[in-house]
Structure 1
């Protein structure tokens, strides 16, 4: 009798996750927004490239997870720091597949979906539950954090793929995941499987948070507010810190109930009905995306990869890109790009790194402002030149600039621009 009496308390003390309250979802969305905006900022600020940035954050992830796993119970600061880091790392993994390897978003979405199914399958086969309320042992917690990492990568891929299919701007793109989360929440309250609805909502908060980050960070010309990725990251990191402090003091996210208690029972009829509704919502979402994709539009993520309408750019040379650009792109726009790039090169050679960085921002803005026109005119050439601009921006904005690397990147870009 003594063992049975103390088991609930022992397991409660070993709980490694917060209670699922409104605070959980608020801070989760804050974390996903930081994952999008801070990953974009740090990639440019470090100036070491996307792969190197992902390696750095993979190491940070290992360190943070090691600390989190050593704890014996839920601690808000450690838990949410782990979520933030995993959000950034998962975003970077998807970006590598899209931007570095050129994997179509449809493929990366499928890959991460399969990976998540495998994680869930092994987790359930070993532990016989996928409930967040059961995270009371280190093996279960390890499965939980692995699933969280994959959901961030999957949510990033699904969100970007949606933008690619629809061409929606950052403001409008917030509505779809927001509506879907509302439907899932209503079904959960009606009696849907709580574990299923939790993980669906967990995945959907990733594109919601990412779209909010894009809307706040992008310039007005790109459909955003124009706060920038750095300012957006600071605002949301401050909001996360304030929320964590509130939760640490108030303990409103600490469970005071027996975690061994079964989930509230709901009728089998309601669960079957909610499964049918979820299936109908999924079909309706696919139909909406299919219809929107069939309408004329420019991809809102043309700068994140060649997309399905672009031919392979790996066989293009700088001279071929320059010829195609001169043929298909407006001459005035190309003159502007060449002038700005030449200015940056002159400033770099003179050692004026601060003005070179400002001029690099002019290049980025001008390129983004012409994105829709140029991408529609020649997607492959636009993608090729875009890939030459990225190392220019990274090297010029680096905290420890290397003039030789800057000049090499600038000369390559000038050649591609037909200078």
Structure 2
């Protein structure tokens, strides 16, 4: 009986989706929406980075609380919460490197330190930072706070590599997207090597998909003179929402199963 109960716990489903190719497609679309949506609120509506961050922080807290109260995995709720983290990550990164005046390198350093601290505390308390261990309310809070910091770091990285001002490297949106895309290809190849930690690869990919989405979002809405397509942020966000909704209808979503600690 004890063995059977332990087996049920080890193979219990989580409230996060299984990590598949479809997961990454939707995730990149959500990160791109985070860039266009966040910029629409802070720039197009002229609310500023602080007010925008407070708005998205409220949405983040409401959705994470709903996610934790849910009894099982709900794909729409999960991805709505991901969008909340990526829009909040956009405005927080912009607030750090622009409103606080620390520049892109400073913003990257601050958020990187927060992400490392979040992972370190999570690991110290739970003994693992695997997404397949998200089966309790406490772990869910660790998970979503870490997700938020990873989204914010991704935004800061994308701005640092692509931007020309505030200490940016000035490589442009197309080159930046190619760099981050190449990084994801390398992670994909490392996934084939069984000795590499799947948990480390997941978090590395999660961070890198954010700047890829950020540069794609900037490419859509920035002026042509700055290397963008000059689409309206509002319409670009609407198109991305429709695309994500279509993906949720067409790409099967299932809850990940709890795995052994690594």
Give the TM-score taking structure 1 as reference length.
0.58
Partner Cα distance (1:94, 1:228) in 2:
21
Could you say which residue in structure 2 is the equivalent of 1:270?
none
Could you say which residue in structure 1 is the equivalent of 2:223?
219
Could you say which residue in structure 2 is the equivalent of 1:181?
184
Q: Secondary structure at the match of 1:15?
A: strand
Deviations 1:255-279 (A, max 9, x none): 4xx524567xxxxxxxxxxxxxxxx
Could you say which residue in structure 2 is the equivalent of 1:17?
16
How far has the Cα of 1:115 moved from its partner?
Answer: 1.0
Q: Is the 8 A contact 1:11 1:259 kept in 2?
A: yes
Q: Is the 8 A contact 1:13 1:73 kept in 2?
A: no
How far has the Cα of 1:99 moved from its partner?
Answer: 1.9
Partner Cα distance (2:7, 2:241) in 1:
35
Q: Is the 8 A contact 1:11 1:136 kept in 2?
A: no
- Which deviates the most, 199-208 or 221-230? 221-230
Partner Cα distance (1:75, 1:246) in 2:
15
Partner Cα distance (2:259, 2:151) in 1:
28
Which residues in structure 2 correspond to 1:148-227 (within 5 Å)? Answer: 148-164=147-163, 165-191=168-194, 192-227=196-231
Could you say which residue in structure 1 is the equivalent of 2:238?
234
After TM superposition, what 4+ stretches of structure 1 lie above 6 angstroms from structure 2?
none
Could you say which residue in structure 2 is the equivalent of 1:286?
none
- Which deviates the most, 41-50 or 71-80? 41-50
How far has the Cα of 1:59 moved from its partner?
Answer: 1.1
Could you say which residue in structure 2 is the equivalent of 1:40?
39
Q: Does the C-alpha gap of structure 1 residues 10 and 242 become closer, same or farther in structure 2, counting only changes over 3 Å? A: farther
Which residues in structure 2 correspond to 1:369-408 (within 5 Å)? Answer: none
Q: Which runs of 5+ in 2 are unaligned?
A: none
Is 2:149 the counterpart of 1:142? no
How far has the Cα of 1:243 moved from its partner?
Answer: 1.5
How far has the Cα of 1:217 moved from its partner?
Answer: 1.8
Q: Is the 8 A contact 1:14 1:137 kept in 2?
A: no
Structure 1 vs Structure 2 CA RMSD: 1.9
Choose between structure 1 and 2 for higher RCO, CA contacts under 8 A separated by at least 6 residues: 2
Q: Is the 8 A contact 2:13 2:255 kept in 1?
A: no
Give the TM-score taking structure 2 as reference length.
0.91
Q: Does the C-alpha gap of structure 1 residues 26 and 135 become closer, same or farther in structure 2, counting only changes over 3 Å? A: same
How far has the Cα of 1:219 moved from its partner?
Answer: 2.9
- Which deviates the most, 162-171 or 16-25? 162-171
Partner Cα distance (1:59, 1:254) in 2:
26
Partner Cα distance (2:169, 2:116) in 1:
26
How far has the Cα of 1:120 moved from its partner?
Answer: 0.9
Q: How many residues align?
A: 257
How far has the Cα of 1:65 moved from its partner?
Answer: 1.1
Partner Cα distance (1:109, 1:230) in 2:
27
Which residues in structure 2 correspond to 1:342-381 (within 5 Å)? Answer: none
Q: Does the C-alpha gap of structure 1 residues 189 and 41 become closer, same or farther in structure 2, counting only changes over 3 Å? A: same
Rg larger for: 1
Is 2:65 the counterpart of 1:62? no
Q: Is the 8 A contact 1:13 1:72 kept in 2?
A: no
Q: Does the C-alpha gap of structure 1 residues 153 and 260 become closer, same or farther in structure 2, counting only changes over 3 Å? A: closer
Partner Cα distance (2:78, 2:6) in 1:
24
Could you say which residue in structure 2 is the equivalent of 1:288?
none
Is 2:249 the counterpart of 1:245? yes
